[in-house]
Structure 1
Amino acid sequence: MAKTIFITGASKGFGKLWAEALLQRGDNVAATSRDINGLKDLADRYGDRFLPIRLDITDRNDAIRAINQTKERFGKLDVVINNAGYGVFGAIEEVKEQDVKDVFEANVYGTLWVTQAALPVLREQGHGHIIQLSSVLGIWSLPTLGIYNATKFAVEGLSEALASEVSSLGIHVTLVEPNGYMTEFGGKSAVLSETIEAYDAARTELFQTEGMLPGDYGKPEATVPAILKLIDSQNPPLRLFLGNLGYRKTQRVYADKLQTWKEWDEVAVAAHG
C-alpha cells in the first residue's frame, strides 16, 4: 500500500533525492521548501501524488498549516522526515550572534515545530514514523563546527525523549546520522564566519580529519535503499548511521569517554554525598 511521506527541505540534496525515489515507487509525497521552484520538475512528472508546499519551518503556525494541508490532500500521514537544515562553519569565538540564532531556529526549532505539528495527526491515526535528520556530528564534535554540533546534539536529545513519550502510541522515531556526503552542506547553503587567525590551525585540522578528506564523502544516491528500508521497517531503530564512518569512529570516541568517566568515577561517587 502506498505511504504518504512529508519531507522538509526537499528542493535539493537528500530531501529531493529521497522524495523522487519515493514517488518513483508509488508513494504520495508532500515536499516542502522556502522556494518551491526547485520542486517544479517533480510536480510536472508526478501530478496528484506530489504536493509541493512553500514552508518556513521556523514558523510554528506555518508548520501546522503544511501538515494539515498534507492530511487534507492525501487523507493520512505515515512518515515525517525532518530533513531541512544547514551548517555554520566557525570557531566558537568567531561565530556571530545572529548566525547562531538563525541556525538554531532552523535546525532545532524548525525540527521541533514540524514534529509538534505532526504529532496530533499521528496520535489520532495510532501510527506513524518521525525521521529526524541528525548527523554523526550529533554524536561527536569537530573543530570549527561547534555550533552545528550543538544543534544536532539538541535534536538528538529531544528526539530520544520523544521516542520514549510516543512509543506506546504506535509512533516510531528514528535519528538518521549521516557522515559527510557530496551534497551542498559545505557549499552555497553553509554560513561561514569571519575568521580569527588564532584558529587557523583548528581549521587546517578539520580538513585533515578522518571523514573530512576528499575521498571520505559518501555518494548521496547510495542512501536511497537505506531510507526506503527504514521507512518500510515494522520496527525501525532509534538511530541509524548513514555511511562507513559513523559506527567505526563512534566506537573509538565513546571508548575514550568511558575510559575518562571510569578514571574519574571515584571522584564522581564521592561527590554524591
Structure 2
Amino acid sequence: MVAAILIDDPADPRIAAYCDIRERDLVGRQGQFIAEGEVVLAMLVRSTRHRAASLLIDAKRIESLAPLLEQLPPDVPVYAATQAVISAVAGFPLHRGILAHGIAAPALEVERLLEDAPADAVIVALSAIANHDNMGGIFRNAAAFGATGVVLDADCCDPLYRKAIRVSVGTSLTLPFARLARGDDMPALLVAAGFRVLALSPSGVTDLHEVPRGGRVALVLGAEGPGLAQSLMERAENVRIRMAAGVDSLNVATTSGIVLHHLTAGRG
C-alpha cells in the first residue's frame, strides 16, 4: 500500500504546483503540466517520455487507486487531501479528485520524428489548431488509428495543456509530437522525409475514398473557419470528405478520425 502524505492546508508549499491551475495553464508551465483524472494518470504512469513529479488525490480514492499508485517510482510523493482542500488549491470544484504534476520530456526534433517513422507511417500535421478540445480530440484519434506521431506548427496550442490532455484521454502523453519553429516550411520537410502530403479541405479536388493507402502519408489539418493557408494547399494533394448538400465542413477532430480510419484500414 502506498504511503500517502496527508495535506490539510491548501497553502502547504509541497502542493504549490497545483494552485490555481486554470490561471497557470493560461500562462504556460515551461516544461511542466497538470494531468487530471484516473485514465489520464494511468497513461502518465505508462508514458516512456514524460514523468510524474507528484500526485494530489482525494484521500477517499487512495485505496481504490493502490494498484496504479504502486507502479510509480518510489521517489514520487503522493499527497492526499479532502475534496474541499483539493478544490481550494485548484481554484475550482475538482470532482475527479485526481491530479498529477508532470514533467515534460525534452522536445523532439521534427526531422528526427519524420526520419525515424516506418515506411508505412501516417503522420498528422497540424496548422494553427488553437482550440484545446480539438487538439485533444485529434491526438485521441491519431493514437486510436496508429499514427506514428504529430507535427505542430508554431501557431498550434499546447497538447500538454490540462484540458487538451484530458480530452485526449492521456494520449498526448504517449504519442510522440514535435513542433516546427516559426518560419519552418512544413510541406518541404514532409516531402523531404518521403511523405505524401494530403491537405484536407471542403474545396479539395479528390474525394477521400479515392485516395490510395500505403507508403508514408502526412495528413495536414487546419483550424476551423480559416482552414489551411492557400500557400500550403498549393503544395499538397487537396482532399475532401464528401458530405450531404448544404453542409460544407466537419469539426476538425471529427475529420481527423474519418481520414485516419481510411488511411490505416487493413493495417496490422
After TM superposition, the score normalised by the length of structure 1 is 0.32
After TM superposition, the score normalised by the length of structure 2 is 0.32
- Which has more strand, going by share of residues? 2
Q: With CA pairs under 8 Å and 6+ residues apart, which has the higher RCO, 1 or 2? A: 2
Question: Whose Rg is larger?
Answer: 2
